[in-house]
Amino acid sequence: MDHHPHVPWDARWISLLACPACHGTLSAADGPELRCASCGRAYPVISRVPAFLIDPTAAELKTLNLYGDIWDAYNQEKRRSRYHAPAASHLELLRLAAGCDIAQGEAGIDAGCGAGHTTLAMARQHAGIRFIGIDLAGGIRRTAAQAQEIPNLRFVQGNLLSPPLAKRAFDFVYSFGVLHHTRDPRGAFLALAERLLPGGRITIFVYKDFSDLPLKKTLLAPVTLIRRLSTRLPAPVLRVLARCNAPAVFLTLTLPARLLRAIGRPRLARHIPYGTFPGIRGIAASLEDRFGAPYEHRFRIADLEGWAREAGLMEWRAVDCLPWGFSGLVLSGLVSRAHVTQGIPKNGNRPEETEKIGKLG
Ligand SMILES: [Zn+2]
């Protein structure tokens, strides 16, 4: 292997990266850093993870600090307890909603991988596929340290709006619950689609706008109002508030949902927010997420149709995830060989109003 003494990335992995500033090719420099051949910028490699943060905005820094490890508690609880959603995990949801495996081919991206635990699980499951987990937050470094023995996994710290990843180099990209927390979700989606080889699959989950559900839309209004204040709170204060309020959420939402399932009304239970959560610590993590993230965009199926058209996707589908117990939308499709956008896709053969399937070309 042509490992550079200071950088634990060989040429085969480095070729999957690109300078986020100018898309130039990178190479290992003398120190623990990667250097761009075109613009000369150097990016430090810290604990095996290259850091590609160019002038992060205040909101990005806040997002970065928020998401370091808040979901760890949720995942620990989920492993210990019975999990109630019809999809066994977030990635299982993406597979069900996409209607096929989300990881395929030789190399792929987990876009916004958080602490990287599920990326690690995916890499173990698919030993023949190379995974790059990318996130703004530095929590990936702990996971990268644990994953040193996993040959098909690497992490990079970077921004999804200018991913430090080579264009037309990957067979798939998936992203769960991340794009809506970026400044420009559509821009991030298009940037990720650009990283795919022709025929590569992109699958993303985002929050939904409840314009089709007046009751939920009404319930969301106070949440949006509280967010105006809560997103300005210092992180430690928000964390304490989230922990103090989690038991109340558990008692008023999670427990009633469990009761509904116990008496044979699972479909009703699916409409209750936090109804599938495994425990109080996970709820606290989610409250911190929901009330602390600087950006929280919401989307309609029609928005995702627009993204699919702009990215020139073929054989795509945009679906509401409620049947699987998740409140959000999934868009999954293949990047067209021609990369051309053509007209408005015809609706496919699935009758549900909340689902659209497009076939281009
Ligand atoms: Zn450059």
Within-domain flag for 285: yes
Q: What is the mean pLDDT of the chain?
A: 85
Let me know whether 178 and 190 are in one domain: yes
Within-domain flag for 264: yes
Within-domain flag for 79: no
- Say what the pLDDT of residue 73 is: 65
Let me know whether 228 and 281 are in one domain: yes
Distance 323 CA to ligand 1 centre (A): 45
Within-domain flag for 288: yes
Higher-confidence residue: 81 or 32? 32
Within-domain flag for 70: yes
Distance 16 CA to ligand 1 centre (A): 15
Q: What is the pLDDT of residues 165-199, one digit of tens each?
A: 999 999 999 999 999 999 999 999 999 999 999 99
Distance 351 CA to ligand 1 centre (A): 48
pLDDT at position 213 over 90:
no
Q: Where does 56-206 show beta strands of DSSP type E?
A: 107-111, 130-135, 153-157, 170-176, 196-206
Among residues 271, 292, 313, the one where a domain terminates is 292
Let me know whether 173 and 101 are in one domain: yes
- Say what the pLDDT of residue 113 is: 92
Among residues 292, 314, 334, the one where a domain terminates is 292
Distance 15 CA to ligand 1 centre (A): 14
Within-domain flag for 2: no
Among residues 292, 327, 343, the one where a domain terminates is 292
Within-domain flag for 265: yes
Let me know whether 99 and 130 are in one domain: yes
Let me know whether 135 and 188 are in one domain: yes
Q: Which of 31-35, 66-70, 275-279 has the lowest mean pLDDT?
A: 66-70
Higher-confidence residue: 54 or 204? 204
Distance 109 CA to ligand 1 centre (A): 21
Share of the chain above pLDDT 90, in %: 49
Let me know whether 149 and 246 are in one domain: no
Distance 35 CA to ligand 1 centre (A): 8
Q: Look up the domain containing 231 and give its range.
A: 214-292
Distance 55 CA to ligand 1 centre (A): 14
Distance 197 CA to ligand 1 centre (A): 22
- Say what the pLDDT of residue 35 is: 94
Distance 165 CA to ligand 1 centre (A): 12
Higher-confidence residue: 9 or 313? 313
Per the structure, the count of domains in the chain is 3
Amino acid at 13: W
Let me know whether 171 and 257 are in one domain: no
Q: Which of 127-141, 165-179, 227-241, 303-317 has the lowest mean pLDDT?
A: 227-241
pLDDT at position 204 over 90:
yes
- Say what the pLDDT of residue 340 is: 40
- Contact criterion met (CB below 8 Å) for 361 and 353: no
Average pLDDT on 16-22 reads: 96
Q: Which of 22-26, 182-186, 322-326 has the lowest mean pLDDT?
A: 322-326
Distance 190 CA to ligand 1 centre (A): 20
Which residues partner with 45 through β-bridges? 50
- The pTM for the full model equals 0.83
Let me know whether 242 and 220 are in one domain: yes
Average pLDDT on 275-300 reads: 87
Q: Is 19 exposed, middle or buried (0-12, 13-18, 19+ CB in 10 A)?
A: buried
Q: Which of 48-57, 126-135, 215-224 has the lowest mean pLDDT?
A: 215-224
Let me know whether 277 and 309 are in one domain: no
Let me know whether 165 and 131 are in one domain: yes
> How far is it, in rounded angstroms, from Cα 329 to Cα 274?
17
Let me know whether 265 and 314 are in one domain: no
Distance 192 CA to ligand 1 centre (A): 18
Within-domain flag for 249: yes
Distance 26 CA to ligand 1 centre (A): 8
